[in-house]
A and B are shown apart, each in its own frame.
Chain A
Amino acid sequence: MNAPQHGMTLAEKILSRASGLERVVPGQIVEGRVDLAMMHEQGAQTVAPFQQMGADHVWDPERVVIAIDHWVPASTEGAAVIHRILRKFAAQYHLPHFYDVGRHGICHQVLAEDGWVVPGDLAVGTDSHTNMLGAMGAVAAGVGPTELAAVLALGRLWLKAPPTIKINVRGKLGPGITSKDLTLRIVGEVTTSGATYKSIEFTGPTIDALSMSERFTLCNMTTEMGAKCGMIAPDQKTFDYLEKTAKHAMHPLRADADARYERVLDIDVDGMPPMVACPYSPDNVRPLPDVVKEHVKVDQVFLGSCTNARIDDLREGARLMKGLKVHAGVRFIVSPASTAIYQQCLHEGIIDIFTEAGAVFTNSSCSACFGGNMGILAPDEVCASSSNRNFPGRMGAKEARIYLMSPAATVATAVKGEIADPRELG
């Protein structure tokens, strides 16, 4: 057999492992064994196809997680029906890992916290932001509920091995500049279609220096670039994060030094200002100080979502918020990404700080992010949000305008009543 002419990217390595092949090349169709399958409310639409397929059991109940998060507790009759469908399905097919009301959290966050996705995995979920788990050094991708039914029946799915864009980041994030600002800058450069069908691999000293939580933010929004998956090779931080929780064996992989990339993007963050994505697209990104000058008044501010509602986001938010008040006429909604984070906020006094300031601190859920549950915007309202999408109608009325920013910037904006730079609060 001829020796390979060049090495493999991280995604190619992981897909080789999943498909039992020595190597894969971009464009090749492979059948990958799935290490973890996740369903949220959209999984209710998995049930009928699963039964129509004639499957009599789920391939491996230990590899299936159900996590409801969009309407928790059920806020409409429709949501209640969906939750009941999922509960019955879990009971009927003996699926023990159900994050039901009371131990719920945003699906990607509970997968991360409880070690359901580990280095080398191929993971799929019914939510588009499943990409977030790529921060574990895994291929994690969103699929539709019918596709997930096939995965539950067979334990595998077909994938076209994607070409990889390498994004190499160097420099030091300045005071008050976060991984969200870096993420938005990258989405702005790559655009919402620039990585469609592709894998994104983040490397470089700035990425090495990021915490796991910050890496989740970055990989989460590879979805906004159209990417099939986005990932960071595992390192000691990954292993430490998963030390007590990893649910199955790790297969840590790294790209080969001579891997072939479709494109390499070099980013230097030295001197980078905070960033904001303006209506109506996540790639409509501008430096925050430029937008601040336009005195954009806001009606609502949202600190939440799978992108940015982890404990470090809420701690930093509370540090800035302490002793200040939410601006009159502004609704500030804070929603932790999981029940574990909620409890941590409770113990650390973070809930007190936000509620004393006049914010509403909700239970854990997707909350205002997707315009279907709570915190819905009226026509022409303006919202500053730490979430991931600002398409027309995303958070309610199609005319409403959404600005995406870091958690720190949402707090500064809530205090000032118009889009503000968190560095003004120190």
Chain B
Amino acid sequence: MQDVIRGKVWTLGDNIDTDGIISGKYLTVLDPAELRKHVFEIALPGFAEAAQKGDIVVAGRNFACGSSREAAPQALRAVGVGAVLADSFARIFYRNCINLGVPAIEVDGVRRVFENGDPARIEMSAGRIVNERTQAEIRFPPIPPHLLELLEVGGLVEKVRLELLQSRGAAPA
């Protein structure tokens, strides 16, 4: 994970549920590249076609509530989003993002800092998010060490892989 993340912002409102990110009808789709085509079909039509690698999603309160579907962060990871920012997250989605190595940052008030299309800069270790158009900024509390560790190794799969290797006495590959 980079310490400074830059990208173009896509804004969303409050209480966007996971059906709005990936509809129930795509839940038998296992291929992330295919899921990517349908991301935000309900909540933000047009996103899937126009989104670029590195773009940043900025949502309001209770982002990604509802169903536990990991297809939602999977699809965002397939887009290659730089980060997901929200005033607040629903808990399973937040865990899923971190587990998949997608930086998710919760900071109340972040939604008001951006308009759709604004350039954002996120400074992870400084704990700062800046709107590079308006220079408005907002600070976020440090990401807890165990979550940062997960993001830094690239997600839960890699973390458990290393842990299992260590428990067997082998040096990490």
Q: Which residues of A contact B (CB under 8 A)?
A: 29, 41-42, 44-45, 49, 52-55, 70-71, 76, 78-79, 81-82, 126-128, 142-147, 149-150, 153-154, 158, 192-193, 196-197, 226, 228, 281, 370-372, 376, 389, 391-394, 398
Contacts and interface: CB of A to CB of B under 8 A. Distances in A.
Given A45-B70, A147-B99, A53 B27 contact: no
B11 interface: no
A294 to B, nearest CB: 24
Size range of the chain B interface in the assembly: 35 or more
A139 B92 CA distance: 15
Contacts of A71: 28
Contact of B69 (A42, A55, A82, A389): A42
B155 A146 contact: yes
Contact of B20 (A79, A146, A391): A391
B68 A158 contact: no
A82 B88 contact: no
Contacts, number: 134
Nearest to A370: B24
A226 B91 contact: yes
Given A153-B164, A193-B65, A79 B28 contact: yes
Given A192-B15, A370-B67, A144 B164 contact: no
Contacts of B30: 44-45, 78, 81-82
* Central interface residue in B29, B69, B91, B96, by most chain A CB within 10 Å: B91
Interface of B: 15, 17, 19-20, 23-25, 27-30, 42, 61-62, 65-71, 73-74, 88-92, 95-96, 99-100, 144, 146, 155-157, 159-161, 163-165
A42 to B, nearest CB: 7
A228 B90 CA distance: 9
Contacts of B71: 45
A144 B70 contact: yes
B24 A372 contact: yes
A107 to B, nearest CB: 12
Contacts of A391: 17, 19-20, 66
Contacts of B89: 196
Given A70-B27, A370-B67, A394-B19, A53 B161 contact: yes
Given A29-B144, A54-B164, A144-B96, A128 B68 contact: yes
Contacts of B96: 144, 146-147
Contact of B164 (A55, A192, A193): A55
Contacts of A127: 68
B90 A196 contact: yes
Contacts of B95: 143-144, 147
B78 to A, nearest CB: 13
A166 to B, nearest CB: 19
Contacts of B68: 42, 126-128, 142-144
Nearest to B70: A144
Contact of B160 (A79, A154, A193, A372): A154
B161 A54 contact: yes
A49 to B, nearest CB: 5
A158 B28 contact: no
Contacts of B91: 196-197, 226, 228
Nearest to B165: A54
Contacts of A145: 70
- 7 tightest Cβ-Cβ pairs between the two chains A and B: A78-B28, A193-B62, A128-B68, A144-B96, A372-B24, A144-B70, A371-B24
A274 to B, nearest CB: 24
28 contacts: A44-B30, A49-B156, A52-B161, A71-B28, A81-B30, A127-B68, A128-B66, A128-B67, A143-B92, A143-B95, A144-B92, A144-B95, A146-B100, A150-B156, A150-B159, A154-B164, A196-B62, A196-B65, A228-B91, A281-B15, A370-B24, A370-B67, A371-B24, A389-B17, A389-B66, A389-B67, A391-B17, A393-B23
A371 B18 CA distance: 13
B163 A154 contact: yes
B111 to A, nearest CB: 14
Contact of B156 (A42, A142, A146, A392): A146
